[in-house]
């Protein structure tokens, strides 16, 4: 019988680490098209959670993701996926405007919206991040300032402070390492 130990983010099975996989989803992008996890098959991507009306950390995070987009503009194997934690207000049109503000390339950087329960479940259970309505009279949301690096097998390979430009640089470096690993596997 295999020995399995759950360490939170990964399980150890018979001495080998088995990383948690991000589950499937079906959401709508800023272009109005449907996006599923299978659309990211074979891709390395950076995931984060935000909302367009955020006046705080989301702006810093989006500016840092723009740096990631620019670093991999010519690399089709790298994507960015930003999930809205405010789907009631973040319509396709709102996401389009937000994407335009940051110069997001719709082929590289996806802004996704959909059923609130699905997005919050994906944040908490899929990515192991907090996402919930904040207890106040003003609509606001508790969400993470983290970027998550997801490999081609949909495993979380790294977590970064999305508001820190140095962490964005570390993320870019680690994406390059994953791309090198990918090229070695192809050869």
Q: Which range marks the domain in which residue 12 is found?
A: 4-186
List the CATH number of the domain containing 170: 3.40.30.10
Query: What is the pLDDT at residue 187?
Result: 61
Alpha-carbon distances of 184 from 81, 154, 177, 181, rounded to whole Å: 25, 19, 11, 5
pLDDT (tens digit, 9 = 90+) per residue, 6-26?
A: 344 444 444 555 566 888 999
pLDDT per position as a tens digit, 74-101: 999 999 999 999 999 999 999 999 999 9
Q: What CA–CA distances, in Å, run from 156 to 4, 9, 94, 103, 128? A: 19, 8, 28, 26, 10
Q: Is the pTM of this model over 0.75?
A: yes
pLDDT class of 134 with cuts at 50, 70, 90? low
Report how many domains make up the chain. Answer: 1
The more confidently predicted of residues 116 and 137 is: 116
Q: What is the pLDDT of residues 23-67, one digit of tens each?
A: 899 999 999 999 999 999 999 999 999 999 988 899 999 999 999
């Amino acid at each position: 019988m295999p020995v399995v130990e759950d360490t939170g983010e990964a399980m150890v099975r018979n001495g080998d680490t088995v990383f948690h996989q991000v589950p499937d989803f079906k959401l709508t992008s800023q272009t109005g098209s449907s996006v599923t996890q299978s659309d990211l098959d074979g891709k390395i991507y950076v995931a984060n959670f935000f909302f367009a009306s955020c006046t705080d950390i989301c702006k810093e995070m989006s500016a840092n993701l723009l740096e990631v987009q620019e670093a991999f503009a010519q690399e089709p194997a790298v994507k960015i996926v930003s999930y809205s934690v405010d789907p009631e207000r973040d319509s396709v049109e709102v996401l389009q405007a937000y994407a335009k503000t940051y110069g997001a390339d719709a082929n590289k950087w996806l802004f996704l919206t959909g059923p609130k329960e699905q997005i919050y479940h994906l944040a908490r259970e899929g990515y192991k991040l907090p996402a919930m309505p904040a207890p106040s009279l003003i609509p606001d949301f508790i969400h993470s300032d983290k970027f998550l690096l997801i490999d081609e097998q949909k495993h979380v390979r790294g977590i970064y402070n999305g508001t820190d430009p140095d962490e964005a640089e570390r993320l870019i470096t680690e994406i390059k390492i994953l791309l090198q690993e990918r090229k070695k596997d192809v050869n």
